[in-house]
């Protein structure tokens, strides 16, 4: 080759770079020299790639050596090649795909500028087809759940699917194909990923006994999330913990039951939560948005080959927290919890909360989301109970927390290669060593369902999900295995043979209302989302027999609860998922009849409660619609106009709490001009006093807190008036801010970070006529009276 061509980076393909194991033709004369043919064969549509031996492992000739010699860069990120990779025909001959000007490696390396080359056609009609995601899609999680078909489902075939990862950045993984259907987990690297899917079936072998490989390619882009708060994962250890978990002797001998094994299993379970949730969000029309985890650079554990090779990767960080309680303290405490629930209920949750708070040390205004596992959970065979375990989820305004035990941990997969074996392992549970949780874990695969699924259920609670009428939040995780496998084994729980073919309709999932909550949850914020609204509160106003619902961030959906319903069966969605960024309507008008018409006939006459959710993640509950819209919510103002009460904030349940009501001077018979407002407060609001130009004043609440209160003057020369309030409220009224018609805001008097934030501004066409609420030792109820 001339030297100037060498300088341009051009060279011939060597035979070594294209060494492929092929099926011999009938004459047995096929050779690698066939690759020199530039002309396609007469029938290019009948091509297959027979490059894999029976063990389903890609040969070394398809890895880095092949890529370096079949895909070259010109230094600007573009390929200099102009030939397509050769394909092997059924008769052993080779060919190139016609009319193509790009050259690709068999693994499909993208160009250096991050753009993929033109798509490569599948090698045959039997090649795998991924149906759950389209080529070129963007995702935000490292482990992607996919599903698809091989061959013709009307003529089902069993076999195996091997996934070859981008630039060999992750070891090849094999997945079963049942009745031509497959499900698989794909490891992704940040940026573009070129994946190859190879299907092999024993029924498709050639006359000389070699297996035929049918291949297809797909491009997936992975963009890691960094702008959303992470879901933290923790393992909690007693002060004197042996750092082991329950396992049968065979398991201990095979994989161990120490802390390192527990971390690997917990990490893999968390990856399954993420892959499962992203797929569920996609099916509900919200894209593959999902929570993220904190990561750290360490030896990889998602593949067993990483431990052997010492491959370093960014892996999910599992925080290990040592408690100030002993193993006996934890197990005795939980034993008391089970036998004396009214006395010790939730003590393990409190221990975990204190440990997490001390470990992370959240700063003011920072909110943490943490899911924990007690490693010292133990199956006590003598009394037939699991000790040191509690399944709970919830938290406060600073830390949202879920806790679970390690009693099913032995059944979890440790690596991605173990996912299918773990969910198909029929080994019976030996209750001499491990628990049969709720008598639903009679075999290893069922124990994996209960352990991984129930912990995900509690994590759903920390993310704001209540119990639902179906799905993960109603213990539907007993079918979790069907999401990751195509065939189900015998079930000891149902005493029946499992599902022969597990399709999407056979799987469990998150309830639609769960996915709506996730859509607006901070942990699920996607890079394409607009900036999260600072105001998430909702106001409900009773006006002329109807109810107005206002939310600055938009109304997302409303849940209806006729008397007797403990979970939601009926709801109304306002958010348009097909118009991202548009949010929901800022004003919704509700009538009692319109809501009752959405209920079954037998429930329409029952008292009706409802709960409103905003696109900013806020919610507001109304206990009785009829009472809110009744005459009790309407008063007659001194000037003769009707006044309408808003929903009230605060509990109004403090000792000595009494109802109070104050009408502003603008609604008096002789209108008064307000001169200034004085707020009495300490770390909560004691009272508010309105002063008028004629020297009179009106007090709501009492004069307490800091002597003299805090004064906020109004500019009477510009006719400045009060148009609303910003509250910090919870059980009582923590803080208040005054909003004026001149666009001014006072400081937040009282506790500026206490409770939750609510902005009270009347709907368009209405103004503030007064204030109502209640006062005990300080204000514990606050609402507005509005008028036209």
Put the strands of the sheet holding 570-573 in their side by side order: 570-573, 555-562, 608-614, 619-622
Angle at 719 between CA 645 and CA 729, to 5 degrees: 35
Contact 541, 762 (CB under 8 A): yes
Which residue out of 315, 440, 458, 507 is catalytically annotated?
458
| Measured distance CA(54)–CA(60) in Å, rounded | 15
Task: State both tokens at 17.
Answer: 């770079």
Task: State both tokens at 446.
Answer: 């069922």
458 is catalytic: yes
Angstrom CA distances, 375 to 110, 161, 295, 372, stand at 44, 36, 21, 9
Core vs surface per residue 449-472: b (16+ CB within 10 A) or e: bbbbbbbbbbbbbbbbbbebeebb
Task: State both tokens at 13.
Answer: 């393909």
Contact 306, 173 (CB under 8 A): no
Which residues are bridge partners to 221 per DSSP? Answer: 138, 192
Contact 715, 742 (CB under 8 A): yes
DSSP string, 75-123: SSS-B----PPEEEETTS-EEE-SS------SS-PPPTTS---SPPPPS
Contact 467, 565 (CB under 8 A): no
Distance, CA of 100 to chain centre: 42
CA-nearest of 36, 39, 38, 43 to 14 is 36
Angle at 308 between CA 302 and CA 313, to 5 degrees: 40
Q: Annotated catalytic sites, by residue?
A: 458
């Amino acid at each position: 080759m001339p030297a100037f061509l060498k300088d341009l980076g051009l060279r011939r393909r060597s035979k070594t770079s294209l060494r492929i194991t092929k099926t011999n033709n009938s004459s047995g004369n096929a050779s690698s020299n066939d690759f020199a043919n530039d002309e396609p064969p007469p029938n290019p549509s009948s091509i297959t790639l027979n490059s894999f031996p029976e063990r389903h492992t890609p040969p070394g000739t398809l890895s880095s050596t092949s890529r370096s010699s079949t895909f070259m860069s010109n230094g600007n990120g573009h390929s200099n090649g102009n030939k397509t990779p050769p394909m092997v025909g059924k008769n052993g001959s080779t060919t190139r795909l016609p009319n193509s000007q790009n050259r690709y490696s068999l693994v499909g390396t993208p160009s250096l500028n991050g753009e993929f080359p033109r798509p490569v056609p599948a090698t045959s009609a039997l090649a795998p087809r991924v149906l759950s995601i389209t080529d070129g899609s963007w995702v935000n999680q490292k482990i992607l759940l996919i599903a698809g078909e091989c061959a013709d489902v009307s003529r089902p075939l069993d076999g195996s699917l091997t996934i070859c990862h981008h630039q060999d950045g992750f070891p090849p993984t094999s997945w079963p194909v049942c009745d031509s259907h497959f499900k698989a987990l794909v490891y992704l690297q940040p940026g573009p990923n070129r994946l190859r899917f190879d299907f092999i079936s024993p029924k498709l072998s050639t006359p000389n006994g070699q297996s035929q490989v049918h291949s297809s390619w797909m491009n997936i882009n992975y963009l890691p999330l960094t702008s959303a708060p992470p879901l933290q994962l923790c393992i909690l250890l007693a002060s004197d913990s042996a750092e082991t978990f329950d396992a049968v002797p065979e398991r201990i001998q095979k994989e161990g039951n120490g802390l390192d094994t527990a971390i690997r299993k917990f990490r893999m379970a968390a990856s399954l939560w993420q892959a499962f949730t992203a797929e569920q969000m996609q099916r509900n029309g919200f894209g593959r948005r999902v929570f993220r985890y904190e990561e750290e650079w360490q030896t990889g554990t998602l593949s067993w080959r990483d431990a052997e090779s010492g491959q370093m990767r960014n892996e999910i960080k599992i925080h290990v927290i040592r408690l100030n309680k002993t193993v006996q303290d934890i197990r005795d405490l939980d034993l008391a919890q089970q036998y004396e629930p009214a006395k010790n209920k939730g003590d393990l949750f409190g221990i975990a909360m204190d440990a997490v708070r001390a470990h992370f040390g959240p700063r003011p205004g920072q909110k943490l989301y943490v899911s924990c596992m007690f490693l010292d959970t133990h199956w006590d065979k003598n009394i037939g109970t699991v000790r040191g375990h509690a399944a709970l989820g919830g938290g406060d305004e600073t830390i949202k927390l879920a806790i679970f035990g390690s009693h099913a941990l032995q059944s979890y997969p440790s690596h991605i290669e173990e996912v299918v074996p773990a969910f198909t392992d029929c080994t019976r549970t030996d209750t001499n060593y491990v628990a049969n949780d709720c008598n639903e874990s009679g075999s290893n695969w069922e124990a994996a369902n209960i352990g991984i699924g129930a912990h995900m259920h509690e994590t759903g609670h920390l993310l704001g999900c209540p119990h639902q009428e179906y799905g993960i939040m109603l213990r539907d995780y007993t079918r979790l295995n069907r999401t990751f496998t195509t065939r189900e084994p015998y079930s000891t729980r149902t005493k029946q043979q499992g599902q022969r073919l597990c399709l999407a309709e056979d799987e469990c999932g998150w309830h639609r209302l769960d996915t709506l909550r996730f859509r607006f949850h901070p942990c699920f914020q996607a890079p394409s989302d607009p900036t999260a609204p600072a105001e998430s509160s909702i106001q409900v106003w009773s006006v002329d027999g109807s109810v107005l619902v206002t939310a600055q961030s938009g109304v997302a959906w409303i849940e209806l609860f006729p008397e007797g319903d403990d979970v939601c069966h009926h709801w109304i969605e306002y958010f348009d998922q097909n118009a991202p960024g548009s949010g929901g309507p800022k004003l919704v008008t509700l009538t009692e009849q319109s809501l009752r018409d959405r209920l079954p006939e037998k429930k329409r006459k029952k008292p009706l409660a409802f709960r409103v959710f905003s696109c900013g993640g806020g919610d507001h509950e109304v206990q009785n619609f009829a009472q809110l819209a009744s005459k009790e919510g309407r008063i007659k103002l001194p000037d003769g106009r009707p006044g309408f009460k808003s929903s009230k904030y605060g509990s109004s349940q403090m000792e000595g709490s009494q109802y109070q009501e104050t009408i502003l001077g603008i609604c008096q018979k002789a209108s008064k001009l307000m001169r200034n407002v004085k707020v009495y407060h300490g770390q909560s609001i004691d009272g508010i006093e309105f002063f008028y130009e004629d020297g009179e004043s009106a007090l709501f609440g009492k004069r307490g807190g800091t002597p003299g209160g805090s004064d906020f003057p109004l500019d009477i020369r510009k006719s400045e008036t009060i148009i609303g309030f910003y509250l910090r409220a919870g059980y009582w009224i923590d803080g208040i801010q005054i909003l004026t018609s001149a666009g001014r805001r006072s400081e937040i008097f009282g506790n500026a970070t206490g409770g939750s934030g609510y902005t009270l501004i009347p709907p368009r066409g209405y103004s503030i006529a007064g204030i109502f609420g209640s006062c005990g030792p300080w204000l514990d109820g606050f609402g507005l009276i509005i008028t036209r």
